Amino acid sequence: MLKGVKRYILLILLTSGFVHSQDIHFSQYYFSPLSLNPANTGNFLGDYRIAMNYRSQWREIQKAYKTVSLGGEANIYPMNQQTSVGLYFLNDKSGGNLVVNKIFLSGALHKKIAGINLHAGIQPGFVLKSIDFNAHTFPNQLNWDKGQFDNTINNYEPYQTQRTNYFDLNAGVGASARIKKFEGGIYFAMFHLTQPKETFFAGSNKLTMRKMFNLDARYYLNEKFTLNLYTMMAATTKASDWVTGFNVEYNLNKTPFFTNAVFVGFMWRDGLKRISDAGIVTAGLKYKNYTAGVSYDINISKLHTATEYRGAIEFALIYTSKNTRLVKKQIPCDRY
């Protein structure tokens, strides 16, 4: 009986038109640039970049959450202007049968003015959601003779469809700069600008716009150690999310094209209304073109009694190609 009740509560949270839930997100959000802000498209030193992310959350609960994303982007220079294009795909499964597929085109412009790099991006896309209501159990499906739920009994739920799709639109801006040993950026994005209709039931439930702010800072302590600071805040109607933390990077060796390094750190997830969710341990490696990261969420929310403090594990892998475009001009000999 308890499993049936849990499934029902989960289903209501995910599909109700009256509950405003948080969008899909990663703990290592800085390793998923295209889902963080469209202005991140092409915001790197290189010809192209490919990023992959995997998240498995609350494995201790039956039919938990799994999220996979894949994004690719490239820089082009029409009329000597840095322009970036990208493609982003995400697949998410929650509750075992609620499936979300997203595919977005992404584009951005980058301009340097007075030593400050300005970024602006837009991201149109398509979202498909589906669910198998017959695979779940509802209160009306309690078999009193057996004392358990039976999904072969009519559930009497008023759903009209088990699949919905819609066009979506995101946009973002940002600014970044480097001053001596300090390098940082500030970014703002808005998601669901079209406020699309999203529901399996009758009615016109619309997604409200989600606003996201993130700040990153990098301080080069010396030739060997670098301190990276991150913070991200997102809010939509009654839901909010705040992730902040740091990692310390140790440089193993440096070449003209790459810096090989290892890093470890700690992040914290909270609600803007002081609702503690998780502590996040992070670690990773930079080797030539590759950056790999892993994180583990230690769940401290009210759900910890069911999860035994076990939250989510994440893996991220990024490949960044070399930059074949000349970015520095230098006179090779002395002038007389």
Query: Helix, strand, coil shares of the chain as percentages rounded to 5?
Result: 10, 55, 35
Mean pLDDT of the chain: 83
pTM, two decimal places:
0.83
Q: Is the pLDDT assigned to residue 278 strictly greater than 60?
A: yes
For 208, what's the count of Cα atoms within 13 Å in the CB-facing half-sphere? Answer: 15
Question: Is residue 334 in some structural domain?
Answer: no
- Identify the weakest region by mean pLDDT among 115-119, 156-160, 268-272: 156-160
Question: Is residue 91 in some structural domain?
Answer: yes
CA 158 to chain CA mean position, Å:
33
Question: Is residue 297 in some structural domain?
Answer: yes
Phi, psi of 203 (to 5 degrees): 115, 180
> Rounded to whole angstroms, how far apart are CA atoms 288 and 326?
20
Task: Supply the CATH number for residue 41's domain.
Answer: 2.40.160.40
Question: Is residue 327 in some structural domain?
Answer: no
Answer for the pair 245, 230: CB distance below 8 angstroms, yes or no.
yes
Q: Which amino acid is at 114?
A: A
Q: Give the mean model confidence (pLDDT) for residues 264-281.
A: 82
Q: Is the pLDDT assigned to residue 267 strictly greater than 50?
A: yes
- Residues 41-85 have pLDDT tens digits of 999 999 999 999 999 976 655 566 889 999 999 999 999 999 999
Number of other residues whose CB lies within 10 A of the CB of residue 257: 11
Question: Is residue 108 in some structural domain?
Answer: yes
The pLDDT of residue 4: 39
Q: Give the mean model confidence (pLDDT) for residues 290-300.
A: 92
Mode of pairing for the β-strands spanning 116-130 and 239-254: unpaired
Number of other residues whose CB lies within 10 A of the CB of residue 42: 26
Question: Is residue 242 in some structural domain?
Answer: yes
Question: Is residue 299 in some structural domain?
Answer: yes
The pLDDT of residue 7: 42
Nearest to 25 by CA among 201, 227, 277: 277
The pLDDT of residue 262: 98
Nearest to 24 by CA among 16, 35, 11: 35
Q: Is the pLDDT assigned to residue 230 strictly greater than 60?
A: yes
- Identify the weakest region by mean pLDDT among 124-133, 141-150, 227-236: 141-150
Distances (CA, A) of 251 to 57, 254, 261: 31, 7, 4
> Rounded to whole angstroms, how far apart are CA atoms 336 and 333?
10
Question: Which residue has better confidence, 203 or 26?
Answer: 26
- Residues 85-110 have pLDDT tens digits of 999 999 998 866 789 999 999 999 99
Question: Is residue 262 in some structural domain?
Answer: yes
The pLDDT of residue 8: 37
- Structural domains in the chain (count): 1
> Rounded to whole angstroms, how far apart are CA atoms 163 and 201?
10
What residue numbers bound the domain in which 223 lies? 2-320
Decide: helix, strand or coil at residue 118: strand
